[in-house]
Amino acid sequence: METIRKYYLAPFVFLLLARPAISQIGVITGPAHSMFSCSASVPSPALLRPESYTELLGDIVITCTAGPNYPRGTAIPTANIIVYVTPYPPITSRIFEPNTGLSDALLLVDEPGSSLTTGAVGNYGPQAPQVLCTLTPAACQAYSELDKSGAYPVAASEPSAGSPNAANMIQGIVGDFGANSVTFYGVPGMPPAYQGLSRVFRITNIRVPTLGITEGTQVQVFLSVNPLQVIPVAGSAMTAGLVQAAMTASVNSSPAGGNAPFPQCMPPAGPALSAQVSFVEGFKSMFKTRVAPLANTAWASTATQYRHAGSEHSGRAV
């Protein structure tokens, strides 16, 4: 079975198990000697079932290195990141506000809850609490500050020492630039500055329909960033999913009787197995439950209090 994502959203309740932050990942090994640069990839493209309405694409990961070290108290510039999906299916991530397109597609900063190595001291980087930007689509301003050790620049919510980390989770707006687009407004582009550090933006929970898309088709995504100098990442297309055969079914003769399956006009002398029907996954992660079990116990996925990010259903597994 497919590993269930760790990121979930429900109206007014955020069940994100991980804890993201805006701060560097890694340990300082020296000063930066190069220009601020970023690269984007989809490390694990998803295998997609055909004839589905809400197939989950692979995460888009933007990794940034080097760049200037902003002085303390500097307002960090922001950029808008637009994700386009092709062959142009409409994005079907869950919509919370139909009038605005506010969705459960998320942009997370610096790998939430990953326990990756960070030299920053305090609730920064992967160790910070989750902070949602509630001003979407406006920007939640962040400021350059120092961690508790005084050595690592971090993004804070206020321009003063010891301020809490800045908002680090941004919800996507679906449809502002076409039905196949989702936009993340006001993403803070704070360079990691030092050698050994990187800044990571993860875009997750983008769902698309695969109705009418033939098997073997690659579903691709590409990025548009404005202004580009804030988060300088190229806009080349990336494969985020591959439509695969979902399931095969077959009817075989009974090993005991040896008759053709379901013989017509030839009722058996008594109750007997007439045929066996087999269903086989087209790929290993094809069969999924409706809900994401949050406990490793029997029947955990059938508990009514659990709800999957992309489903309006609860209760039973399918």
pLDDT of residue 58: 96
Instruction: Please give the single-letter amino acid code of residue 35.
Output: M
Could you count the other beta carbons within 10 Å of the beta carbon of residue 268?
A: 11
**pLDDT < 70: residue spans in the chain:** 1-24, 112-113, 115, 253-275, 289-293, 299-318
Question: Do the Cβ atoms of 113 and 7 come closer than 8 Å?
Answer: no
pLDDT of residue 119: 80
Number of domains in the chain: 1
Q: Tell me which DSSP letter residue 160 carries.
A: S
| Within a domain: 276 | no
| Within a domain: 259 | no
The alpha carbon of 75 is separated from its chain's Cα centroid by a whole number of angstroms, namely 28
Nearest residue to 210 via CA among 54, 75, 101, 314 = 54
| Within a domain: 5 | no
| Within a domain: 158 | yes
pLDDT of residue 318: 32
Domain hosting 60: range is 25-243
| Within a domain: 282 | no
Q: What is the pTM of this model?
A: 0.76
pLDDT of residue 120: 81
pLDDT of residue 182: 97
